[in-house]
Structure 1
Amino acid sequence: MKKFNESLGGNPLRKHVYKEIEKAILDGVFEPGYSLTEGKLSAELGVSRTPVREALMQLELEGLVKNIPNKGAVVVGVTSQDIDDIYTIRTRIEGLAARRCAQNIGDDELEELRQVVELQEYFVTKQDFLQVWHLDSRFHEMIYDACRSRPLKQILSLFHNYIQKAREYSVKSGRAQASAQEHRAILDAIENHDLEGAEKAMALHVNNARDAFFEYM
């Protein structure tokens, strides 16, 4: 993990520390069952114990760690059941975000969404799966923004973050080309302001990604 400048102080420092520990958990650096000690994390991050303690409290609220007597904060992480549940929920509500996006997206946003899909298709031909993965994230983030629903965006952004490794595995499973084609179908529906078509195309895309992940694992 990277070190932070204690002079940042206040909320920025707490936020940076929290995101860094969260990323280590979601990336599998800290595996389920691993004990997180304030002293060791403070030394690794170059900060006092206070922002580390606050970060661990936030992570416990989100269910990524659990406070156990005599052991402290123990990593729970994201289980296979969590991933299954998240994909199931996304199948239900991300289609709604795509529907709202088809209804509300602006011309500039639509042009940027087209560019993202075109770039993803290009990098699929180059078999540059890291770029494909990054563009996949950007595609979904843009739809969350354009749906014009703050609650939807907050929920879906959190879920998308929690299953970032699952999404990476899904791309590595050989689904990159299929994913790009599904993004194209979603884009086509959004361009035509086809609300029902966008919702159905997105639900199919999320469901296919879920199936690919569990087959890969």
Structure 2
Amino acid sequence: MYKNVSLADQVYDVIEQKILNGDYPAGEVLSESRLTEELGVSRTPIREALARLQNEKLVETSAAGTVVLGITGQDVKDMYEIKRYLEPHVCSLAIDRISEEALKRMEEIVEQQEFYEMKHNLDQLRNLDTQFHDIIYSSCGSPIFQSVLSPIHHKLLKYRKASLENSDRSLHSVEEHRAIYEAIKEKDKKRVEELMTNHINHAYDSIRKGA
């Protein structure tokens, strides 16, 4: 189960996913012994993962143990506000800096998304969605913007699992990616900022409406 990246990182990803999708609801106590049994790992990577989750305000330590804080509607709203203010500008920056190799990879990702959308393969769509946005972040020329946007997008994508299961939103998201890619390829800054703003608004609306 746990390969390639560190064990603590893998454990962190699993626990974070369970918190964001509600398997570990707010108020639930997560003991090390329980997590050791559920995940089949030792206490050391679990402690490292819980410390990281505490730093990110997803859990807190109390007299009862490690308690899930979860992610609130206000948290989601705030994260989308950050994306709304920064990501269109980051797309514009990426137009001036993106390599031919990265642009080609974006095209491949969109084509793969179109294929997996027809297959209704949510896991592949989410993975490709992350790759698509990460290419934009890494191509903007600012490690600061990348370090802010990348973890936010990853968190929201895990939280958005239910909305992506809606076939209409899933299809529209892929179509929006195609349009964003085309605008970047054509170096149309005004257009790409407009498209990314709409993409972010549509994603947030799908969550707010419970789609």
TM-score grouping bracket, smaller chain normalisation: 0.7 to 0.9
Q: Compute the displacement of 1:129 (Å).
A: 4.5
2:22 matches 1:28: yes
Distance 2:208 2:109 in 1: 26
Q: 1:32 touches 1:75 (CA, 8 Å); kept in 2?
A: yes
Q: What residue ranges of structure 1 are gaps of 5+ in the alignment?
A: none
Q: How does 1:138-149 map to 2 (within 5 A)?
A: 138-149=131-142
Cα deviation for residue 134 of structure 1 reads: 3.1
Matching residue within 27, 51, 58 for 1:64: 58
Q: Secondary structure at the match of 1:177?
A: helix
Letter in 1 for 2:112: L
3-state SS of paired residue (2:175)? helix
Q: Which residue number corresponds to residue 85 of structure 2?
A: 92
* Structure-2 residue corresponding to 1:186: 180
CA gap of 1:160–1:105, structure 2 versus 1, over 3 A, is: same
Q: In the TM superposition, what are the counterparts of 1:1-217 in structure 2 within 5 Å?
A: 12-69=6-63, 71-124=64-117, 126-130=118-122, 131-173=124-166, 174-216=168-210
Deviation digits for residues 37-84 of structure 1 (CA, Å, limit 9, x no counterpart): 122223333444333223222211110001122x11100111122111
Deviations 1:134-175 (A, max 9, x none): 332221122122223212222112111212244323322321
Q: Percent identity?
A: 37
Query: Can you list the C-alpha shifts for 1:111-142, whole angstroms capped at 9, x where unaligned?
Result: 11112222323343x25241433332221122
- Give the drift of 1:91: 1.0
Distance 1:14 1:171, change over 3 A: closer
Q: Do the aligned residues in 2 keep the contact of 1:129 with 1:176 (CA within 8 Å)?
A: no
Aligned-partner Cα distance in 1 for 2:114–2:26 = 36
The runs of 4+ residues in structure 1 deviating greater than 6 Å are none
CA contact (8 A) 1:102 1:198 kept: no
Q: Based on CA coordinates, which of the two structures has the bigger radius of gyration?
A: 1
Give the SS at the match of 2:6.
helix
| Residues 126 and 157 in structure 2, CA contact (< 8 A), matched pair in contact too | no
Displacement after TM superposition at 1:92 (Å):
0.9
Instruction: Give 5+ residue unaligned stretches, structure 2.
Output: none
Instruction: Compute the displacement of 1:110 (Å).
Output: 0.7
Which stretch shows the higher mean deviation, 43-52 or 75-84? 43-52
Q: CA RMSD in A?
A: 2.4
TM-score by length of 1: 0.84
The answer (yes or no) to whether the contact 1:26–1:165 under 8 Å persists in 2 is yes
> What SS does the corresponding residue of 2:60 show, helix, strand or coil?
strand
Alpha carbons 1:98, 1:198 under 8 Å: kept: yes
**Cα distance in structure 1, aligned partners of 2:179 and 2:43:** 49
